[in-house]
Amino acid sequence: MEIIPIPAFTDNYVWLIRSGNRAVVVDPGDAAPVKRYLARHDLTLAAILITHHHADHTGGIGELARPEIPVFGPAGETIAGVTHPVAGGDSVQLDAPRLLFEVIDVPGHTRGHIAFHGHSVLFCGDTLFNAGCGRVFEGTPEQLHHSLQALMTLPPETRVFCTHEYTLANLAFAAAAEPDNPARDRYAEAMQALRDAAEPTLPTDLATQREINPFVRCDSASVRATLDLADATDEQVFTALRDWKNRF
C-alpha cells in the first residue's frame, strides 16, 4: 500500500491510497488534480473517504464519483454524494484495494467530523495537524480537546495524514506556547528543510506529536507556565491555547 499526497488549492493535500492499479482518495476537495494523477498512472478509483463537510474536502466528489464507487462520509453531516454514511464504531472494508479502517468520531472542528484509522495510519482531516489542530467552527473547544486525546490513545507509531500544509506556521506558534522544547526545535529545523526542498511535511506520527504539539501537551508544566494556568484543567489550557492561536 502506497499513500501519495496530491496537492490541491493553496495548502491542501488529497491523499491517494494506491495498491496495484486501484486507488482510494481521501477528502478530494478538487477533482482535477486527482483525475490527472489517476489518468497518468492508469489507476481505477475504487472508493472515496470523506472526513467532514467543508468544501475544500468535498468539492471533487461530484466529478469523481460513479455509481460503482462508494463514498464513505460522516453520518452526522449532510454531504452531497456520500453513499455510505458512517460514524464512530463503524468500519470501512474494501476488497480491492484490500483495506479495513475503523471510524472514529472526532467532533470539534465540525460537529460530525470523523477520522479513519487502520493499517497503522490515520486520516484525520482537520482535527489534528502536524504541530497543531483545527479551528473550532461548529463544536466546542472541550469537544476538540477530547477528540485529540482520543486520537492520542492510538499506537504511537501511527502515521498521521492530515489535509493541510500548516506545519511551519504551527511550529512558530508552538515555539511561543512552549519556548523551552529542544525536541520541537530540532523538528522545526527538519521541517524547514523539507519545505525548502518543496517536500511535504506529512505524514507525521503520534509519538512525534506528543513531543512537539502544544495542543496535545496541555498537561505540560512548561505550556501551563507560558499561559500562567498552572492549576487549570487540561480543557481550560486547551481552550486558552486555541483562542491564542486564533489571534496569533
Question: What is the spatial distance between Cα 163 and Cα 8, in angstroms, rounded to a whole number?
Answer: 10
Domain of residue 72, residue span: 2-247
Point out the catalytic residue in the list 27, 30, 105, 109: 109
Q: Is the full-model pTM beyond 0.75?
A: yes
What pLDDT was estimated at residue 168? 98
Task: Decide: 131 and 174 in contact? Cβ < 8 Å.
Answer: yes
Per DSSP, the residues of the chain read -EEEEEEETTTEEEEEEEETTEEEEE--S-HHHHHHHHHHTT-EEEEEE-----HHHHTTHHHH--TTS-EEEETTS--TT-SEEE-TT-EEEEETTEEEEEEEE--SSSTT-EEEEETTEEEEETSEETTEE---SSS-HHHHHHHHHHHTTS-TT-EEEESB--HHHHHHHHHHH-S--HHHHHHHHHHHHHHHTT-----EEHHHHHHH-GGG-TT-HHHHHHHT-TTS-HHHHHHHHHHHHHH-
Domain count of the chain?
Answer: 1
Q: What is the pLDDT of residues 73-89, one digit of tens each?
A: 999 999 999 999 999 99
What pLDDT was estimated at residue 109? 98
Q: What percent of the chain has pLDDT over 90?
A: 99
Concerning whether 109 is annotated as a catalytic residue, the answer is: yes
What pLDDT was estimated at residue 234? 98
Concerning whether 219 is annotated as a catalytic residue, the answer is: no
Which grid coordinates are listed for 193?
528543510
Point out the catalytic residue in the list 53, 57, 113, 146: 57
Point out the catalytic residue in the list 53, 54, 113, 146: 54
Q: What is the pLDDT of residues 159-218, one digit of tens each?
A: 999 999 999 999 999 999 999 999 999 999 999 999 999 999 999 999 999 999 999 999
Concerning whether 56 is annotated as a catalytic residue, the answer is: yes
Concerning whether 54 is annotated as a catalytic residue, the answer is: yes
The CATH number linked to 145 is 3.60.15.10
What pLDDT was estimated at residue 93? 97
Point out the catalytic residue in the list 27, 53, 164, 234: 164
Concerning whether 84 is annotated as a catalytic residue, the answer is: no
What pLDDT was estimated at residue 193? 98
Point out the catalytic residue in the list 27, 52, 113, 234: 52
Concerning whether 164 is annotated as a catalytic residue, the answer is: yes
Concerning whether 117 is annotated as a catalytic residue, the answer is: no
Q: What is the pLDDT of residues 106-143, one digit of tens each?
A: 999 999 999 999 999 999 999 999 999 999 999 999 99
What pLDDT was estimated at residue 204? 98
Point out the catalytic residue in the list 105, 126, 146, 234: 126
- Cell numbers 463514498 correspond to 71
Q: What mean pLDDT is predicted for residues 13-29?
A: 98
